[in-house]
Structure 1
């Protein structure tokens, strides 16, 4: 099998081997993970806003 035929994973999995990745590949993985962290933080903030709104509605 040629090196070109070997497909590289498109996503990062926690604990996956990284010792064969280049600096560019590692930097790309960091970018993917930082984007995912930002997405998760946005979801947390949205849930907090929903909870605050619900608490305000049910406060008497």
Structure 2
């Protein structure tokens, strides 16, 4: 299996996508979708940080 057979990580497909031929409404829709995804990721990060903090409070910080 060569490197060409391995699909890029999903984040790269977002950042490397050809967007030059998209219309303004399509670009605005993309921005809205990406903003929603950013908020979703931030929520998961906050949840994980809360879980880590709770575990450290119980078991101590190592």
TM-score by length of 2: 0.71
Report the counterpart of residue 20 of structure 1 in structure 2.
Answer: 21
RMSD: 1.3
Q: Which runs of 5+ in 2 are unaligned?
A: 1-12
Runs of 4+ in 1 over 2 A off after TM superposition: none
Report the counterpart of residue 59 of structure 2 in structure 1.
Answer: 58
SS in 1 for 2:21: coil
| Distance in 2 (alpha carbons) for counterparts of 1:51 and 1:30 | 31
Q: Alpha-carbon deviations, 1:10-57, whole Å to 9, x = none?
A: xx7221111111000000000010000000100100000000000011
TM-score by length of 1: 0.73
Q: Which runs of 5+ in 1 are unaligned?
A: 1-11
Aligned residue pairs, count: 48
